[in-house]
Amino acid sequence: MGFVKEFKEFAVKGNVIDLAIGVIIGGAFGKIVSSFVEDVITPLLLTPAMKAAGADNIKELAWNGVTYGNFLSAIINFFCIALVLFLMIKGINKINKKDEPAAAGPTEDQKLLTEIRDLLKSKNA
């Protein structure tokens, strides 16, 4: 029974559940980015270049018999995902950034100790 209890504690921990949710959302986000690249970026930005290369679809791009359209699509997907993640992390860091407290002057105790030190120095000098 100890193994089952340990496994239950492991599987129900918040970190494992958070990781599973992250993987699921990441998969859905990847599909959104792929659709964005294939359905928006490619037709709007890459259409002239693809027509010059003689391809109607990015997946048809080939050079010397080697099809590289899927690879090019994956590179564009990567950069889109990296950009969105960068912007998200930057925003989260901005929200979580705590205002640095202003450098406070010396406290009353420190002022008093400074006066005592100065008086002692003047008496000894």
Looking at residue 46, which CATH number applies to its domain? 1.10.1200.120
Residue 49: its pLDDT value, please?
A: 73
Residue 117: its pLDDT value, please?
A: 92
Residue 47: its pLDDT value, please?
A: 75
| In the chain, % of residues over pLDDT 70 | 93
What are the Cα distances from residue 41, in Å, to 12, 15, 106, 122?
A: 41, 36, 59, 77
Domain membership flag for residue 107: no
Q: Which residues of the chain have pLDDT under 70?
A: 1, 14, 42, 99-103
Residue 1: its pLDDT value, please?
A: 66
Domain membership flag for residue 61: yes
Task: Identify whether the C-beta of residue 69 lies closer than 8 Å to the C-beta of residue 62.
Answer: yes
Domain count, the chain: 1
Residue 48: its pLDDT value, please?
A: 77
